[in-house]
Structure formats: structure tokens, C-alpha cells
Amino acid sequence: MDLSRAKRKLDHIRHALGHEHDIYSHFDDINIIHQSLTDLNFDQLHLGTNVGELTLSSPIFVNAMTGGGGDRTLRINRDLARAAAETGIGMAVGSQMSAIKDSSERPSYQVVRKENREGTIFANVGSEASLDQAKTAIDMIEADALQIHLNTLQELIMPEGDRDFSSRLHNIGTIAEIVDVPVIVKEVGYGMSTETMNVLIGAGIRYIDVAGRGGTNFSKVENMRREKPFASFNNWGIPTPMSLLEGRRLDEDLHILGSGGIRNGVDGAKSLVLGAEAFGMAGSLLKVLIEDGYDGLIEQIEHVKKEVKMVMMLTNSTEISELRHCPFTLHGETKEWIEQRKR
Ligand code: FNR
């Protein structure tokens, strides 16, 4: 086992749960317009939806977190996978590079498919991955889709991080062309701009998870592992609602997923109103699992599902896909953002 890599995985969990979160959420800048005259039956609302080629029983997924850190990460992935199966939501595993390089780490990822035979599961690699490594990651967990993460700032803050990204776009394009599952390019909490998304579209990408700022903050996480922190980057990145607005400026054929700082079902529904087709939650679900245990996690996911259905009721939306047509208003910094980005 690569001990330094395994230790890093455990550090990430500890610091992701321990760092100070922003007090202000840009999701509070969005108001979905309330509609009094709903004519729907709550018990008949269903959360099933399609995102491109993916058929999901719910627009919610557990975003990429862990694996590759020995038994502790195996147990976390097992519980997350069981909860995803029981509540009918999707799930991504954390970066599989450790298990690609060291097969003794594979069980900590494979447990996810073992516990959730029928569910929608995403594999995960960084943009340094070769085509063969991407295929190995997909096969390892019989994944329904592959996430490729972009984490430039995290790598730059990590003392042992990558510094050369010159082959990443080539890698992404090759993988997307060859593998036979959808390829989702995601950030890790810094959000994506229209410019970035346009380059990805040019490379053949049709699925993007903006993974914006507002929740787990990898600058803070990595700075907690440094003797001399780069604290000046603690607020770097594009908040999730703004990144979703960046995505709205692009072509219809792009499938956008929303994540980063989604605290509850209302934030999740706001991301759907802003144009996402599904939304991911990572750090907040891990915190519930660690603090309240498995039953607490199930209760939380069911609560989030109910909140999304309540927003469907209050906007008279029969289908998840209708939420994107709901009227909304923007306030504060998010309103300023959109005004300046129109120029
Ligand atoms: C992550 N995230 C992540 N993302 C990724 O693509 N590969 C990875 O290996 C990891 N590892 C990881 C570990 C831990 C402990 C956390 C909390 C998160 C990032 C994650 O998928 C997501 O993009 C961000 O955390 C933002 O979402 P939240 O946490 O604000 O909901």
C-alpha cells in the first residue's frame, strides 16, 4: 500500500469535515418564484429523470469522495453505497488512481458495486489519467459513467501535487472518444467558467459537473496539510450558482450537473432551476454519516428528496426537467456576477 497516498485520503476526510465553511451561501441569492395554485398530488410526484444517456431514479447523487485509504475508506464507501441503493440515488467513488496503481486498494472501491448492484455509479479519475487507466477505473466498478476531475489549484497547493497539465485536454478528448460510457468532467469545488466549458465542448465533452465553490473547500483542506499555507487562495473559485449561470450561456446539447455547497433539497432544486439536470452532494452527506451514522444518512437523503418534491409542488412542476423553466430572481453578488458577465 502507498502509505503517503492512503494517509492523504484520510487527511482529506478529516480536513473536509473540519474546515470552516463560508457563512454566506450564494444559493441564498436565488429566489424561485412561488406559485399558489398547484394542481399536483404530492404522492404522485416522481423524481426519476434522464441526463443524456443516463437514466436516474432521482436527480440526487453522492459526489466523489473516497476509496484508496485502506479499511476506513472501504467502510465509508460501503455505507454510502448501501444508502445510495436504499434511497435510489446515484453515487460517485473518489479518485481511483491509487487502486489503478495498487490492486490491493481495489476492494475499497469495488465494495460500492457489490453493495449496489443495480444503481447508477460513477467512476473517477484525474485528468492525468491515460485511456487505459480510465478503462480500468470503469471496469473496476462496472461504472455507468466516468467522472474526470479537474483540480489544478488543489494540486498547486499540495506540496506533492502535479505541476504539469500539458496533456490533460488531449487525455480527456481521447477518453471521451473511446470509452463507451458517458464522460463527465468535473471540478472539485472551484466551479467552471463558460470559457472552460467551451473548451471541453470542443474536446467532445457533453457532460459537465460544475462542482463550484461554497461547500468543501480544497484550498482550505490542502492548506491545513501545509506548514506555510497559501491562505490567499482560500476564496478562489466560482460559486456554484454563478457557475451554473455560466453554463446557461452555452449550447443546448450540454448536460450540466450542479454540485458544490448544496446544503439541502432547496439548494438542489435551485441548481435544477438554474439549468442543472441533476445535483451532487459530497461533504455534507459525509458529515452526516460520520456524525449521525448510517440511519442518520438515510434520514437525511430522504429529507432532501422530500424537499425537492416540495419545490416541485410549489412550482407546479410535474417532472424534474420542468424545474429548469421555473421563473426566478437573482440578488446580491450573483446578480452582479451575471450583469458583469453579460458584457
Ligand atoms: C472530495 N471530492 C473529490 N472529487 C473528485 O472528483 N475526486 C476525489 O477523489 C474527491 N475526493 C474528495 C474527498 C472528500 C473527503 C470530499 C469531501 C470531497 C470533491 C467532491 O466530489 C465535490 O466536488 C466537492 O466536495 C464539492 O461538493 P460539496 O462537498 O461542497 O458537496
pLDDT in tens, 14-34: 999 999 989 999 999 999 999
Task: State residue 84's pLDDT score.
Answer: 98
Q: How far apart are CA 219 and CA 232, in angstroms?
A: 9
| 29-82 pLDDT per residue, tens | 999 999 999 999 999 999 999 999 999 999 999 999 999 999 999 999 999 999
Hey, whose CA ends up nearest to atom 18 of ligand 1? 65
The pLDDT-based confidence of 124 (bands split at 50, 70, 90) is very high
Q: Tell me, in angstroms, the distance from the centre of ligand 1 to residue 310's CA.
A: 27
Long-range contacts from 195-203, C-beta under 8 angstroms, 24+ separation: 196/150, 197/246, 197/247, 197/250, 197/254, 198/250, 199/169, 200/172, 201/250, 201/251, 201/254, 203/169, 203/172, 203/173, 203/176
Task: State residue 41's pLDDT score.
Answer: 98
Tell me the average pLDDT across 313-322.
98
CA angle 21, 22, 23 (to 5 degrees): 110
Q: Of 20, 66, 158, 188, which is best to mutate to test ligand 1, by the most ligand atoms within 8 angstroms of its C-beta?
A: 188
Q: Tell me, in angstroms, the distance from the centre of ligand 1 to residue 39's CA.
A: 38
Q: Tell me, in angstroms, the distance from the centre of ligand 1 to residue 252's CA.
A: 27
Give the residues surrounding ligand 1 with Cβ less than 6 Å away.
12-13, 16, 63-66, 94-95, 124, 147, 149, 186, 188-189, 211, 215-216, 259-262, 281-284, 286
Q: Are 222 and 154 in contact (CB under 8 A)?
A: yes
The pLDDT-based confidence of 3 (bands split at 50, 70, 90) is confident
Q: Tell me, in angstroms, the distance from the centre of ligand 1 to residue 192's CA.
A: 15
The pLDDT-based confidence of 251 (bands split at 50, 70, 90) is confident
Q: Domain residues of the chain, as ranges?
A: 3-341
Q: Tell me, in angstroms, the distance from the centre of ligand 1 to residue 145's CA.
A: 17
* pLDDT above 80 (res 313): yes
Kindly calculate the radius of gyration of the chain based on its CA atoms and give it in whole angstroms: 19
Residue environment code for 98-126, b if the CB has 16+ CB neighbours within 10 A, otherwise e: bbbeeeebbbbbbbbbebbeebbbbbbbb
Q: What percent of the chain has pLDDT over 70?
A: 99
| 191-209 pLDDT per residue, tens | 999 999 999 999 999 999 9
Which helix H or strand E contains 172, and what residues bound it?
helix 168-178
Mean pLDDT of the residues in the chain:
96
Q: Of 10, 65, 162, 187, which is best to mutate to test ligand 1, by the most ligand atoms within 8 angstroms of its C-beta?
A: 65
Task: State residue 1's pLDDT score.
Answer: 64
Task: State residue 249's pLDDT score.
Answer: 86
The pLDDT-based confidence of 5 (bands split at 50, 70, 90) is confident
The pLDDT-based confidence of 253 (bands split at 50, 70, 90) is confident
Task: Reply yes or no on domain 3-341 having CATH 3.40.50.300.
Answer: no
Neighbours of 242 (CB within 10 A): 26
| 77-102 pLDDT per residue, tens | 999 999 999 999 999 999 999 999 99
Tell me the average pLDDT across 185-190.
98
Residue 335 C-alpha cell reads as: 446578480
Return the axis-axis angle of helices 240-248 and 265-273, rounded to nearest 10°.
20
Specify the amino acid at residue 306: K
Nearest-atom number in ligand 1 for the CA of 209 is 23
Q: Of 22, 73, 89, 149, which is best to mutate to test ligand 1, by the most ligand atoms within 8 angstroms of its C-beta?
A: 149
Q: Tell me, in angstroms, the distance from the centre of ligand 1 to residue 94's CA.
A: 7
Q: Tell me, in angstroms, the distance from the centre of ligand 1 to residue 318's CA.
A: 31
Nearest-atom number in ligand 1 for the CA of 92 is 21
